[in-house]
Amino acid sequence: MSLSYSIPEMLACLLAADLRDGEELQVGVALPIPEAAVRLAHLMHGPNMELIFLGARMNVHHLEQIPMPAFGWDCRVVRWAESFSDRGHRFDQVKDWGRRVFFVGGIQVDPYGNTNLIGVGDQYTRLKFRGPGAVGTPSLTTHVGRYYIVLNSHTPRTFVPRCDFISSVGWGDGGPEGRSRLGLPGGGPKYCLTPLCVMDFTETEKRLRLVSLHPGVTLEQVRAQTGFELVVPPWIPITSPPCAEALRILRTRVDLAGALRT
Amino acid sequence: MTAAPINHTPRFIVDVVPAQCEPRYGIKVPIGKSGEAMSVAIRTERLIEETAAVARVESGMTLAIGEPAPAALIRQIIRRGIRDLTVVGSGLALDLLIAGGCVRKTISYYAGGGVRVAVAPMFRRAAERGEINVWECDEGILTSGLEAAGKGLPFMPWRGGVGTSLPEINPDLKLFQDPIRGETLLAVPAIKVDVALLHASLADVYGNVQHRGGPGWIDLFLQRAATYCIVQVEKIVPNEQIRADPWATTIGRADAVVRLPWGAHPWYSRGWYIQDTPWLSQYVSAATAAADRDEPAALQSLLTEYCRQPQSHAEYLARIGLPRLLALHEY
């Protein structure tokens, strides 16, 4: 029997499989795929994971369901938290954030994984589109052990040769020293997930490289939708489909309202 | 549709201490021969009414709003027509103040509305049209600036933001070489706050505040950076309850506390009630129509009905109605 699933569901399962037990997983708001992925990983293989939402630190592996927030800034997502991560002193222990994993979205992404949440326009004082602001992403991406870039669109407007503004440093100007040159201790972005494909970064240049194409997506399509030249390996697999068990847990214990299906 | 003002809880004042009682808590109570208190030096209470609280806020000030939002006081600010504020705040509470015409500049790390509201509508419109100035930062930069203010320092060093566009688009943030290890860091200038408005669970009349379920993440930074800190609370409790667990006190000396049960509505109050999603959705639709389609009628009628017309918080709650409030009464 073949499974039917949505692309966001597939990405949530893929992302969950990349998260290891014992890690601290911090997700901001309005990123449904990571929201689902950390819950799924926690339930499936992460009894010692800690989820960090809205400043609260939670291990809720024992719960039957860990529902997703549906609207706004829902304080119910931190029900059953064991502590607040900061007690009014957030960022006072960034020296230990090497074990923390984070996720960022973006209005724009450049070839080195630098991202922009500030806005789009030639001039900062005359933005064509004003974004929500950097949230905590510059400080988080500076310090966390690794992070993932997760976008809900893949177009030449999002994948640009140069971001109009950079709010989070990926690999800076590129190269394995792209971050250490700037003195940034964190490990940088690992993967970039979009509705069309999965990408990672080349070892030498730290440029975005295609890893896999989602079912039904062609290389030409991805190239046409990317505003710069993507590194393309000789052999491109199709993104792995979710396994039945992960999909069942995702639908019955995490994404109860079907946020990833609409 | 008027409702009676909320009466404050009875106060426990030392003049009821019986003669045989030891003067407690360091409060000296001279007892006369007849067993009555003679002249009593009474500790100053910090409990004030909502109107007195908002009277501390003047146009042009730097105002900080905590998380969850001190919504009742925010509505009073809109009702009083306070303008040209520099607001340290985020989310839809910031958006509401912009919609109310109160804001000149924002010090905001995030002006989205959470799930399903990528960018707060009125913030976006005002920023794109140049009607507000945005002091671009992020959470780590903002807390560094607040910490510098609290510590009386000109700046705090911070690493988050190095390598980004933030120092270019916010010239107040300066890159510098640190004198110890020679690293490139960001100098974040002190962010001084004239008045901080916060929402918490409990306080006694002396300004000892306890957040049940933890303070909002930024509240304590705001309190430390502020010249004057007003905390609206769900409940005023006896001083003895505070003393039973001093470690639970999150703010030891708020300048003023205001009793405003349900005061964070339409937002949440941890341990008391959840956000009013229908109200917030209605706001987002109305604000989106005003911001994107130049149709301000729905937004203006929301502002009139819920912010400008109610003379008191109790009157606002009467408009929301008990059935709706009780439906949110869970955690």
What pLDDT tens digit does each residue of chain B (331 aa) get? 455 555 554 444 444 444 444 444 445 555 666 666 555 688 999 999 999 999 999 999 999 999 889 999 999 999 999 999 999 999 999 999 999 999 999 999 999 988 889 999 999 999 999 999 999 999 999 999 999 999 999 999 999 999 999 999 999 999 999 999 999 999 999 999 999 999 999 999 999 999 887 777 899 999 999 999 999 999 999 999 999 999 999 999 899 999 999 999 999 998 899 999 999 999 999 999 999 999 999 999 999 999 999 999 999 999 999 999 999 987 6
Q: Which A residues, 36 through 55, put their C-beta within 8 Å of a C-beta on chain B?
A: 54-55
How far apart are the C-alpha atoms of B275 and A73, rounded to whole Å?
A: 8
Contact B109, B137 (CB under 8 A): yes
Contact A132, B119 (CB under 8 A): yes
Q: From residue B10, how far is each of A183, B13, B18, B205, B237 by CA, in Å?
A: 58, 9, 18, 10, 10
Domains of chain B and CATH, by start:
44-154+190-331 (3.40.1080.10)
Work out the burial of residue B326: count CB atoms within 10 Å of its CB; fewer than 13 is exposed, 13-18 middle, 19 or more buried: exposed
Residue A232 token pair? 């393309």
Q: Which B residues, 41 through 70, put their C-beta within 8 Å of a C-beta on chain A?
A: 68
- Which residues of chain A carry a pLDDT beneath 50? 1
Q: Which residue in the block uniquely carries the two structure tokens 């009014």?
A: A88
**pLDDT value of position B15:** 44
How far apart are the C-alpha atoms of A66 and A113, rounded to whole Å?
A: 31
Q: How big is the CA angle at B127 (ends B122 and B131), to the nearest 5 degrees?
A: 90
Neighboring chain B residues of A128 at a CB cutoff of 8 Å: 128
The identity of residue A82, as a single letter, is E
How far apart are the C-alpha atoms of A129 and B12, rounded to whole Å?
A: 56
Query: Between chains, do B68 and A75 touch, taking CB under 8 Å as contact?
Result: yes
B160: nearest Cα among A113, A186, A4: A186
Neighboring chain B residues of A87 at a CB cutoff of 8 Å: 214-215
Q: B68 preceded by cis ω (within 30°)?
A: yes
**pLDDT value of position B289:** 98
Residue B255 token pair? 């300048």
Q: Which B residues, 144 through 163, put their C-beta within 8 Å of a C-beta on chain A?
A: 144, 158-163
**pLDDT value of position B264:** 97
pTM: 0.91
- Long-range CB pairs of A17-20 (<8 Å, 24+ gap) are A17/A41, A17/A246, A18/A148, A18/A190, A18/A191, A19/A46, A19/A49, A19/A101, A20/A46
How far apart are the C-alpha atoms of B289 and A103, rounded to whole Å?
A: 31
Q: Render pLDDT for A171-213 as a digit per residue (tens, 0 to 9).
A: 999 999 999 999 999 999 999 999 999 999 999 999 999 999 9
User: Does residue A213 come out as left (phi exceeding 0), alpha (psi in the -120 to 50 range) or beta?
Assistant: beta
Query: Between chains, do B217 and A183 touch, taking CB under 8 Å as contact?
Result: no
How far apart are the C-alpha atoms of B178 and B235, rounded to whole Å?
A: 47
**pLDDT value of position B18:** 43
User: DSSP per residue over B231-253, as a string?
Assistant: EEEEEE--HHHHHT-GGG-SBS-
Q: Which A residues, 7 through 36, put their C-beta within 8 Å of a C-beta on chain B?
A: 29-30, 32
Q: Is the dihedral of CA B71, B76, B79, B82 positive or negative?
A: negative
Picking from A88, A89, A118, the nearest residue to B136 by CB comes out as A118
The identity of residue B92, as a single letter, is L
Picking from A71, A88, A138, the nearest residue to B215 by CB comes out as A88
Q: Which residue in the block uniquely carries the two structure tokens 């999150």?
A: B250
- CA nearest to A74 within chain B: B275
Contact A182, B184 (CB under 8 A): yes
**pLDDT value of position B214:** 73
**Cβ–Cβ contact A205 with B under 8 A:** no
Neighboring chain B residues of A69 at a CB cutoff of 8 Å: 114-115
Residue B111 token pair? 């002006």
Contact B119, A131 (CB under 8 A): yes
Q: Render pLDDT for B279-315 as a digit per residue (tens, 0 to 9).
A: 999 999 999 999 999 999 999 999 999 999 999 999 9
**Cβ–Cβ contact B165 with A under 8 A:** yes
Query: Between chains, do A76 and B109 touch, taking CB under 8 Å as contact?
Result: no
Angle at which helix B91-99 crosses helix B121-128, to 10 degrees, equals 60
The strand pair at A197-201 and A189-193 is best described as antiparallel
| B168 sits in which H/E element | helix B166-169
Buried-exposed string A47-75: b where 16+ CB fall within 10 A, e elsewhere: eebbbbbbbbbbbbbeeeebbbbebbbbb
Q: Which residue in the block uniquely carries the two structure tokens 């062609």?
A: A218
The identity of residue A43, as a single letter, is L
Reported CATH class of domain A7-254:
alpha beta
Residue A107 token pair? 């209005």
Q: How far is Cα of residue B148 from the mean position of the Cα atoms in its chain?
A: 20
E strand map for chain A: 24-26, 50-53, 56-58, 83-84, 100-104, 108-109, 115-116, 119-120, 129-130, 146-150, 189-193, 197-201, 208-213
**Cβ–Cβ contact B166 with A under 8 A:** yes
Q: B157 preceded by cis ω (within 30°)?
A: no
Buried-exposed string A89-106: b where 16+ CB fall within 10 A, e elsewhere: ebbeebeebeebbbbbbb
Q: Is the dihedral of CA A46, A50, A53, A58 positive or negative?
A: positive
Query: Between chains, do B221 and A87 touch, taking CB under 8 Å as contact?
Result: no
Contact B6, B262 (CB under 8 A): no
**Cβ–Cβ contact A100 with B under 8 A:** no
B264: nearest Cα among B299, B216, B223, B303: B216
How far apart are the C-alpha atoms of A19 and A38, rounded to whole Å?
A: 8
Picking from A84, A125, A184, the nearest residue to B162 by CB comes out as A184
Q: Which residues have CB under 8 Å from A117's CB, separation 6+?
A: A104, A105, A106, A107, A131, A132, A133, A134, A135, A137, A167, A168
Picking from A69, A142, A183, the nearest residue to B183 by CB comes out as A183
Q: Render pLDDT for A90-117 as a digit per residue (tens, 0 to 9).
A: 788 899 999 999 999 999 999 999 999 9
How far apart are the C-alpha atoms of A74 and A58, rounded to whole Å?
A: 15
Picking from B140, B215, B280, the nearest residue to A91 by CB comes out as B140
Q: From residue A256, how far is each of A88, A161, A251, B274 by CA, in Å?
A: 32, 38, 6, 19
**pLDDT value of position B212:** 83
**pLDDT value of position B21:** 42
**Cβ–Cβ contact A134 with B under 8 A:** yes
